[in-house]
Amino acid sequence: MDTLNGQSKICVNNVTKCFSSKQGEVTALKDLSLDIMDGEFLVVVGASGCGKTTLINMIAGFDSPSSGEILLDGKPVTGITPECGMIFQQYALFPWKTVQENVEFGLKMKRIPKSERKTIAAKFIDLVALNGFEKSYPHHLSGGMKQRVSIARALANDPEVMLLDEPFAALDAMTRQVLQEQLVRIYEKHKKTIIFITHSIDEALLLSSRIAVMTARPGSIAQEIVNDLPHPRNADVQLSDNYMALKRKIWDSVQAEVLKSMEVETG
Amino acid sequence: MDKENHSSKPIIISIISLTLFLVIWEIVCRAGLIDPVFMPAPSKIFARAVKLIGNGELMAHTLASTRRVMVGFMISSMVAIPFGIFLGSSRLFMSICDPFISLLRPLPSMSWIPLSLLWLGITETQKYSIVFMGSFAPSLLYIIEATKSIDPLLIRAARNLGASKLDVMREVILPGALPQIISGLKVMLGIAWTCIISAELVAAREGLGFMIMNGKEYFQTDTVMLGMVMISITVMVIDVVFKKFERRLLPWTR
Ligand SMILES: Nc1ncnc2c1ncn2[C@@H]1O[C@H](COP(=O)(O)OP(=O)(O)OP(=O)(O)O)[C@@H](O)[C@H]1O
Ligand SMILES: [Mg+2]
């Protein structure tokens, strides 16, 4: 795991998370440990309901572990952490704000003057190729455009870590591919630490520098796989033996967990 | 809005039905079928309107009532909006205030009239207080409901972007709840009119409610009905103005 400078950005130490609901107690995560290096692009894959969202929500500080701890730069996460910019599957754009106002939101919260906000927002709107839509309201945009606004909004706030929870799951295949390529370019240019959740093994292979496979619920890490496929991960790479071998390896691991989770559900 | 403009037929039909109604009413009255004290002809109401417009009385009464509604309603909304947002986002304050709101809410504005007269006399402040008491508690409940309808994901997103709890109230909860707050306030404006007319019917020296009550004292049924028509027209005009204002405030819903 010594991909970059070998320094842990985020440490998840023996985290357990229980939810109590009307149906009783649910253990979503059990003794999950995971280290994320500075500058790493970690993709987390796992069966539905294994606790991926729970994990990422705790890293963002929306929720706290039942036991264990999460460290960001060595300090425990105790509340909502703007250093971890979150990108939601449902975009979570403010419908009453224009594209530009949405992108400026984090800067406004930092009380940065208007003119400066505008310059920074313009830069990130440009980065996600949404020039000309600055004055549009979100409901006039397509899903892919909304997610680009959401990415620009997170980036404008200059977080050290970006957390993406199945950000492209609701998009069509073509749009998804465009956004994946954009995200890789942003990652290479801006040197963020990224945690990305997905159901798609192909997406994991295209984007990641490392892949963590989660077990069925209660979730923990089943396997960690370094992805050293060369960039750009074009059609040639995707047809290479190396790609196929990695895919098989992840597939086997995920499938075993999916089967396990189905056994649990059917009794 | 487009659809309404495309065909003017329904409007024409409405105008015809209204005209027909007035014509029949006029004929029935002129034929002497109804005692004019019981029900004056539309033309007599119209004549009364011309007279009262001429001497400025009608305008004065209408403006008096409108001013009272507006002042009372503005004060009530200006208190209820921030207070409601605050209550809607804090469980502690909600539990503190809940018993008082629950006790205030079922009280009809009419029931405040005796107390307000004892406290404030037949004054303008008394009129404003009736509008305030009649519309505050229901407005508050509307606003609390509206704040609860906000998608919690948006609050999370805002917090994740560095917003403080106060920022969230101002930047997320207020604008997010605004469409619902405004439609609630529209209903409340109707209630505010009910409040002021009843207050004026009981004790006042001017205003449409006073005009109606005074007309009744002199058996001027035409004045009574003119007052009622004037209330309808004023509320309708204010509704139109309110809608314009609403579109201004909610550009993103267009
Ligand atoms: N707030 C909550 N209250 C009760 N149970 C919860 C809560 N949040 C999550 N859970 C439960 O925890 C488990 C893990 O949920 P989570 O949303 O983290 O899964 P996931 O891996 O993100 O699934 P998906 O791939 O479908 O998004 C699920 O069984 C879910 O029912
Ligand atoms: Mg999830």
What does the pLDDT read at residue B18?
A: 93
pLDDT band at residue A257 under the 50/70/90 scheme: confident
The alpha-carbon gap from A111 to the nearest alpha carbon of chain B, in Å, equals: 10
* Average pLDDT of the residues in B35-46: 88
What does the pLDDT read at residue A238?
A: 86
Check the CA dihedral B108-B111-B113-B119 and report its sign: negative
What does the pLDDT read at residue B227?
A: 94
What does the pLDDT read at residue B106?
A: 87
Task: Express each pLDDT in B56-76 by its tens digit.
Answer: 999 999 999 999 999 999 999
What does the pLDDT read at residue A1?
A: 43
CB-CB neighbours of B214 under 10 Å: 17
Task: Express each pLDDT in A122-168 by its tens digit.
Answer: 999 998 889 999 999 999 999 999 999 999 999 999 999 999 999 99
pLDDT band at residue B1 under the 50/70/90 scheme: very low
What does the pLDDT read at residue A152?
A: 93
Q: Which fold has domain B38-253?
A: MetI-like fold (1.10.3720)
Q: Is B152 in CB contact (< 8 Å) with chain A?
A: no
Nearest CA in chain A to B159: A80
Confidence (pTM): 0.83
Which ligand is closest to the CA of A54, given by its number?
A: 1
pLDDT band at residue A99 under the 50/70/90 scheme: very high
Cα dihedral value B202, B203, B205, B208, nearest 10: -30
Which ligand is closest to the CA of A18, given by its number?
A: 1
Q: Is A157 in CB contact (< 8 Å) with chain B?
A: yes
* Average pLDDT of the residues in B204-217: 91
Could you tell me the two tokens for B11? 């409007």
What does the pLDDT read at residue A254?
A: 84
Max Cα-Cα span within chain A: 60
Domain ranges of chain A: 38-67+160-267, 94-158
Using a pLDDT cut of 90, give the percent of chain A over it: 65
Among A62-66, A171-175, A210-214, B139-143, where is mean pLDDT lowest? A171-175
Residue A4 has pLDDT above 80, yes or no: no
Task: Express each pLDDT in A178-199 by its tens digit.
Answer: 889 989 988 988 889 999 999 8
How far does residue A63's CA lie from ligand 1's centre (Å)?
12
Are A208 and A200 in contact by the 8 Å Cβ rule? The answer is: no
Phi, psi (deg, nearest 5) at residue A27: -95, 105
What does the pLDDT read at residue A266?
A: 62
As a whole number of angstroms, the distance between CA B249 and CA A244 comes to 56
What is the CATH code for A38-67+160-267?
Answer: 3.40.50.300
Residues of B in contact with A85 (CB under 8 A): 160-161
* Average pLDDT of the residues in A241-250: 91
pLDDT band at residue B90 under the 50/70/90 scheme: confident
* Average pLDDT of the residues in A201-219: 91
Q: Ligand 1 — pocket residues by CB below 6 A?
A: A 19, 21, 26, 28, 46, 48-54, 217
Nearest CA in chain B to A163: B160
* Average pLDDT of the residues in A112-130: 93
Could you tell me the two tokens for B254? 């267009």
In a 10 Å sphere around its CB, with 0-12 CB exposed, 13-18 middle and 19+ buried, how is residue A182 labelled?
Answer: middle
What does the pLDDT read at residue A130?
A: 92
3-state SS, residue A267: coil
As a whole number of angstroms, the distance between CA A254 and CA A259 comes to 9
As a whole number of angstroms, the distance between CA B123 and CA B129 comes to 10
- The amino acid that residue B19 corresponds to is T
Strands A221-226 and A75-76: unpaired
Q: What is the DSSP letter of A3?
A: S
Are A52 and A214 in contact by the 8 Å Cβ rule? The answer is: yes
- The amino acid that residue A180 corresponds to is Q
pLDDT band at residue B5 under the 50/70/90 scheme: low
Residue A263 has pLDDT above 80, yes or no: no
* Average pLDDT of the residues in B111-140: 92
What does the pLDDT read at residue A49?
A: 87
Q: Name the average pLDDT for chain A.
A: 90
Among A255-259, B39-43, B132-136, where is mean pLDDT lowest? A255-259
What does the pLDDT read at residue B252?
A: 85
The alpha-carbon gap from A260 to the nearest alpha carbon of chain B, in Å, equals: 31
Q: Is A105 in CB contact (< 8 Å) with chain B?
A: yes
**H-run or E-run covering B76:** helix B57-89
Are A151 and A186 in contact by the 8 Å Cβ rule? The answer is: yes
* Average pLDDT of the residues in A249-266: 79
Residue A6 has pLDDT above 80, yes or no: no
What does the pLDDT read at residue A2?
A: 42
Are B190 and B69 in contact by the 8 Å Cβ rule? The answer is: no
